[in-house]
Amino acid sequence: MVKLIKSTQELISARAQEKGSTGFVPTMGNLHAGHISLLERALADCDVVYFSIFVNPKQFGPTEDFKEYPRTLERDLELIKSCLNKYSGKSVIVFAPENPEEVFPSSDDQTIVVTNFNNIIEGKLRPNHFDGVATVVFKLFQIVKPHKAYFGLKDYQQYLVIRQMVKELAMPIEIIGMPIIRESNGLALSSRNQYLSENQKEEALILSRTLTKIAQTIAGKKANLLKAKKEIESILSDTRWNYLEIRDAYSLSEDLTNSSRITLVAVFQLGSTRLLDNMQQEIE
């Protein structure tokens, strides 16, 4: 069963009646196979899944057009229903408020700030973005009160922000990071891909191929990091790269002296479309 709810109060009432394990998948809609992979895992793990489709105004910067973000609710609901066919007896509650005040009442000026992560890498280029992400996820967690919540690792820094918030606020929620879903050619699935022409989609493969090449250079050895960083310096002569960095996978620190796991994080820009990707690797 798929039930659509547009009111916060109705959602709270529905949640109060649930007795089993509850999973939660927060999204901004315009769904693709990556989102559906989160839903499938949640359905496999939990008795009931809450799935939000909410375009969060707080995570859009002044140069980012909140009104232009694609809203595809009818199509999204069909994808959710198709997924549910594989899970007999399970149910999905879709929370899709039409008015942002359902989540952020006009009297509410509360902001969650996760200081460890919000002003570096992606946060440095998009001031206040992760504050907006953390704030909406906190609000949704307070409404849904899930046992488990599922996030795609394509937005790796966002995943760390949410995990840190839950830890610092002692919220009784297990945060589960799910692998990046890619097209057969390696391009990470993203709602942003729809803005690319066929030629740009081919050009965008430089992102995953570059990360793979750097990971191969490192090959799990700290001794190879200097060589990889010199390789990155050369790559960044192409100004379409917003950034391409090696960071500690847990702290996002640039100091890798004591790191046991690293992450390669990158954004490549094609026209007005920013494409994110990342790759993790154990290191010794």
C-alpha count within 13 angstroms, C-beta hemisphere, residue 107 = 0
Active-site option among 32, 35, 129, 147: 35
Instruction: Round to whole Å and give the CA distance between 139 and 137.
Output: 5
| Residue type at 42 in one-letter notation | A
* Residue 184 falls inside a structural domain: no
**Of how many residues is the chain composed?**
284
Asked if residue 268 and residue 213 are part of one domain, the reply reads: yes
* Residue 185 falls inside a structural domain: no
Check if the beta carbon of residue 154 is closer than 8 Å to that of residue 190.
yes
What's the domain range around 224? 191-282
Task: Determine the 3-state secondary structure of 23 from DSSP.
Answer: strand
pLDDT tens for each residue of 18-58: 889 999 999 998 999 999 999 999 999 999 999 999 988 77
Output the domain CATH number for residue 278: 3.30.1300.10
Asked if residue 208 and residue 107 are part of one domain, the reply reads: no
Task: Give the end-to-end CA distance of the chain in Å, rounded to a whole number.
Answer: 48
Ramachandran category for residue 122: left, alpha or beta (phi over 0 → left; psi -120 to 50 → alpha): alpha
Instruction: Round to whole Å and give the CA distance between 209 and 62.
Output: 32
pLDDT(144) > 90:
yes
User: Can you say whether the dihedral through the CA atoms of 252, 253, 255, 257 is positive or negative?
Assistant: negative
The least confident of 3-17, 53-67, 214-228, 233-247 is: 53-67
Q: Residue 66 has what pLDDT?
A: 67
pLDDT(234) > 90:
yes
Q: Residue 116 has what pLDDT?
A: 82
Asked if residue 208 and residue 116 are part of one domain, the reply reads: no
Instruction: Give the number of domains in the chain.
Output: 2
Residue with tokens 């229903």: 81
* Residue 186 falls inside a structural domain: no
| pTM for this prediction | 0.94
Please confirm, yes or no, whether 129 is among the known catalytic residues.
no
Asked if residue 153 and residue 216 are part of one domain, the reply reads: no
Residues 6+ apart with CB under 8 A from 17: none
Mean pLDDT, range 159-165, rounded to an integer: 96
Percent of the chain having pLDDT more than 70?
A: 98
Helix axes 205-218, 225-235, angle to 10 degrees: 160
pLDDT band per the 50, 70, 90 thresholds, residue 225: very high
Q: CA nearest 206: which of 122, 264, 121, 270?
A: 270
| Rg, Å, the chain Cα set | 19
Asked if residue 239 and residue 142 are part of one domain, the reply reads: no
**Phi then psi dihedrals of residue 22, to 5 deg:** -125, 125
For Cα atoms 177, 180, 181, give the angle at the middle one, nearest 5 degrees.
130
Q: Residue 60 has what pLDDT?
A: 75
Mean pLDDT, range 197-217, rounded to an integer: 96
Write down which residue in 152, 178, 204 finishes a domain.
Answer: 178
Percent of the chain having pLDDT more than 90?
A: 77
Q: Residue 179 has what pLDDT?
A: 97
